[in-house]
Structure 1
Amino acid sequence: MKTLASAYVNLLKTSIGSGVLNFPYLFKTYGLITTIILTVITGLFAATGLYLLMICSQEMGRGADLGKLAQDSIPWASILIDIAVFMKCFGVALSYMVIAGSLLPSVFNAFFDLKLLTYKPFCLGIFVIAISPFCYLKKMDALKYTSFVGLLSIIFVILASIFRYLYDSTIENVNAIAYATLPDTNWLKGLGKFVFSFTCHQNIFYVFAELENNSLPRMKRLIVITACSAFFLYMSFGVSNYLMYGNAVKDNVLLNYPEDYLTGIVHFLYVIVMGVSYPLQLSPGKNYLMNILSRFFDFENEEVIPLEEIEKTVQVQSDEHLEISTENKKEQKNEVDFLNNQNVSFQNTTIKNREKFKDYVEKIVLTVLIILTYIIAVSGIGLGLIFALVGATASTFMSMILPAIYYLHSDVQKTIFLSITSYIMFLFGVFVFLTTIISLSIKR
């Protein structure tokens, strides 16, 4: 069973992921004080959302998930949940592809003196070929252990940035540092990036199911520790890099780093992290997309008769045969056995054909998703746009809007404080969603 430590690593790695890279840019957009305040607010709401999900899961037990909670509280919203989780998984996988595409040319250039390897589409093509086979694995258990390696790599990147700020005399900060900025379209459309950085709500159910002692107080303690750790890492990385580069900071701050051995190590580690994390996002994304498609297309194109029904039918037929004649029991028994074997054979063949067809469709869908992430990544989409769009839509829906609705519609014993907080969290989530979408649609 999972220990509290492994659950902590799982949640923390899911939270910080690629979102940590965007925090220096958030400090540039909002200023030091405003960014810290907004990070605290979104972190508190995200942690509250996790806690509300755990409260609603107590009666259902270890089998609880977002879909099952929706069936109990808001059955009409089940398809919205599938869409939200798919968008979150696809968006995160896309961000991994974009980050890898921006770092791979410098990584290859450090080892090979070949101009072709600095061409982004070619580099990213090699990356896709290398990681794609892992996406088709039936079980991802082996890849889950990379969460710890990924977390260590991210911590190394954070420590490297602090080291540069404290000891690298070659970096001169000639850019102004802002403590607060006036609201504008950039200010509004960046709110979703904060939400994106604290979203690990799809993984909380996995932790809840596997943790040996998953009592509500223990889950609450885990949520608080994870949220506080994420806040500390974000602030350490964001502040140190913003103080180094000021208004010159990019949405992927690793591109600001000078070309040296330390930067080469950081880039290499982050490419490895993106590579092993990509299948873990795209595979569940494929599953949720299949749930959506199954509402419109019948992938189970053959009716399967349950074994229990076959056994009942065979038993009735057996009784009828035995009632007609008691002289030919042996002959009729052989006939019934033959009928039973034929039905079971048909049952097994039908199940195999159905599973084979569905597996074929899943592979096609997964291939399309891999190609889409590659095409979008090489098109030059900005990492900040992905964070903002996914954060405002799928992440906000999963971490703020849904938990509030679940709690307010559930039959659990409610407190006044959590009820009021749920309403505020719901309204804040809707505000982030609307302002980000409207701001992104406004042309500069």
Structure 2
Amino acid sequence: MSYQPLSSLPTAVADGTSKAQQQPNASSLSCIANLTNTILGSGMLGLPFAFSAAGSITGTILLLIAATFSSNGLMLLSISATHVGITPSTPSSFYSVAQAAYPPSTALIDFAVAFKCFGVATGYLITVGDCMVDAMKFITGKDDGGLLVIQRQFWIVLASLLVASISFFRTLDALKYTSMVSVVFVLAMTVVIVLYSMGIEGMEACDNYAPTDDDLDAVCVGDKDKFTSFESTMSNLAVFVFSFTCHQNIFSVCNEIKDRTQAKVNTVIFTSIGAALLLYLMVAWAGFNTFGSSLQSDILLNYPQNALVTTMRIFVAFLVIFSYPLQLDPSRRCIITLINKLRKGNGDEDFTPVKDEEGGAGSKDSETDASINSKDLGGGEKALENVMFYGITIVFLVASFSLAMIVTSLGTILNVVGATGSTMVSYILPGVVYIKLFEGETGWRKRGAMLQVGVGCIIIPVALYFIFHTD
């Protein structure tokens, strides 16, 4: 069947704001950078561990499968957004497609996106703690834990203060320029990991390696299995799902890309997923060849204390700090929507979707300044919106900080979030929405959507079982 090009949709602005201000004008390169930056991140640090736990051959196959399903989910959502309709005054979002397909599911979507983004943001704080402790050990030359700057908790506190300073913006325009820089950081880290795997003189990965007091039998380079046990593979399956999750952002691509067509959106999808897959394969194989089964849940923890690796650790710390608001923003929008639904008393109210920078489930009640002038709101309603905005932001920051202080393993966060929120957002919801919107279709895309839902429904219980029942 044919799909209406996004560029042919009406562009009238219903709320009286300037049409020029809301016209899509993002370049394809900008959309690719933003989507790729959303995919890459702390998931890249934990992937080599999951890769080694599954075995090199199994890990490669799982990466290819995860990339394929993620691409399919992104296409299903973008086609659904086109089918529902996109205008400057009513841009697409998870909320808009879910409301059109199956209204009762909107609350589930809001919860899934909020939970997934919260888990990712918490993982970012854990990453900062891991990276900066080792960086400071090298810089100070101390390894006894007596100094404040080599305490993990100190850096999580500092990172939380830094992310708090950039988490109260109403829009994310000021942060979009960090996407290119973030991708450069990721490329630099990939190059370093690959160089270490090549055994270049002066870049010995096991230089000055010594077992920790917690594991005196540990070795720098472990076994390099092509296949491992079913239990080991399944307990890390969710990390592969998590590594390609960016589906809350496909709506911002549909809303903002200039001269929109489905072909252009597909190009953004395939380029972003393809670039991420290539980088993941390089990092996973390089890390696996270097350390084998000795890989830790954060690959940077395997490398020696030297100036190059220390620089990479600091870069990664800043990378995830700047990425934190990209997770907080859609989560905040979804939570506001859920609160508004509770205030209304039922789900039948007219929540008009608004411009959502992150593509999360948003509503007219949940974002006052995206398409509504502040003068249009009564003083009491505006004050309540502000209370929710700032209150939810503070609770989010405090909750993620508290969890990061308790949970020390990045792998735990990646597994649980991947098994639940990421699987729901990238597998089940895209398939359910598409199936409902295109009930009369019988082609291969419909069958692909059904397969997407089925696989997602299997992943969640199986992955959770093995995560919590593996010694």
Aligned match of 2:305: 259
Give the Cα–Cα distance (whole angstroms) in 2 for the partners of residues 349 and 26 of structure 1.
51
Alignment pair present for 1:123 and 2:155 = yes
Which residue number corresponds to residue 248 of structure 1? 294
Matching residue of 1:9: 33
Separation of aligned partners in 2, 1:171 and 1:20: 19
- Within 2, Cα distance between the matches of 1:373 and 1:104? 18
Report the Cα offset of residue 386 of structure 1: 1.2
TM value normalised by structure 2: 0.80
**1:221, CA displacement in angstroms?**
2.1
The aligned counterpart of 1:95 is 123
Pick one of 246, 261, 264 that aligns with 1:215.
261
Instruction: Report deviation, 1:365.
Output: 2.1
Aligned to 1:317: none
What runs of 5+ residues in structure 1 fail to find an aligned partner? 300-346
Cα contact 1:3–1:212 (8 A) shared by 2: yes
Paired positions, count: 396
Residue 324 of structure 1: aligned partner: none
Q: SS of the counterpart of 1:295?
A: helix
CA distance change for structure 1 residues 15 and 415 in 2, over 3 Å: closer, same or farther?
farther
Mapping for residues 428-443 of structure 1, pairs under 5 Å: 428-442=455-469
Structure 1 residue 73 and structure 2 residue 105: aligned? no
CA apart distance, 1:358: 2.5
Distance 1:259 1:368 in 2: 36
The equivalent residue for 2:183 is 151
Q: Which amino acid aligns with 1:406?
A: V
Alignment-derived partner of residue 227 in structure 2: 180
Q: Any gaps of 5 or more consecutive residues in structure 2? A: 1-24, 207-219, 346-373
**Residue in structure 2 matching 1:389, options 406, 416, 421:** 416
Distance 1:348 1:199, change over 3 A: closer
Separation of aligned partners in 2, 1:79 and 1:419: 24
The amino acid that maps onto 1:61 is I
Deviation string for 1:323-370 (max 9, x for gaps)? xxxxxxxxxxxxxxxxxxxxxxxx979712221233123222211211
Q: Which has the higher helix share?
A: 1
In the alignment, does 2:173 pair up with 1:141? Answer: yes
8 A Cα contact 2:254 2:260, kept in partner: yes
State the partner residue of 1:406: 433
Decide whether aligned partners of structure 1 residues 261 and 9 sit closer, same or farther in structure 2, where only a CA change above 3 A counts: same
Verify: 1:20 aligned to 2:51, yes or no. no
Cα deviation for residue 80 of structure 1 reads 0.2
* CA distance in structure 2 between the aligned counterparts of 1:110 and 1:139, rounded to whole angstroms: 38
Root-mean-square deviation over aligned CA pairs: 2.1
**Taking structure 1 as reference, are residues 69 and 33 closer, same or farther at Cα in structure 2, changes over 3 Å only?**
same
TM-score by length of 1: 0.84
Residue matched to 1:30? 54
Structure label with greater radius of gyration: 1
Q: Which residue number corresponds to residue 452 of structure 2?
A: 425
Given that residues 236 and 467 in structure 2 are in contact (C-alpha distance below 8 angstroms), is that contact kept between their aligned partners in structure 1? no
In the alignment, the residues of structure 1 paired with residue 34 and residue 377 of structure 2 have an alpha-carbon distance, to the nearest angstrom, of 39
The question of whether the paired residues in 2 share the 8 Å contact of 1:101 and 1:378 is answered with no
- Separation in 2 of the partners of 1:199 and 1:39? 12
Within 5 Å, give how 1:10-409 maps onto structure 2. 10-59=34-83, 60-62=85-87, 63-111=91-139, 115-169=147-201, 170-171=204-205, 174-184=221-231, 186-297=232-343, 351-409=378-436
Cα deviation for residue 443 of structure 1 reads 6.2
Contact 1:15 1:199 in 2 (8 A): yes
Contact 2:46 2:298 in 1 (8 A): yes
Q: Distance in 1 between matches of 2:155 and 2:47?
A: 26
- Supply the distance in 1 between the matched residues of 2:375 and 2:302 (Cα, whole angstroms): 59
Query: Offset at 1:100?
Result: 0.5
Distance 2:326 2:40 in 1: 15
* Percentage of identical aligned residues: 26
* Residues 377 and 55 of structure 1: CA distance in aligned 2, closer, same or farther (over 3 Å): same
* CA deviation vs aligned residue, 1:146-178 (integer Å, no higher than 9, x gap): 111111101100001111111444335742210
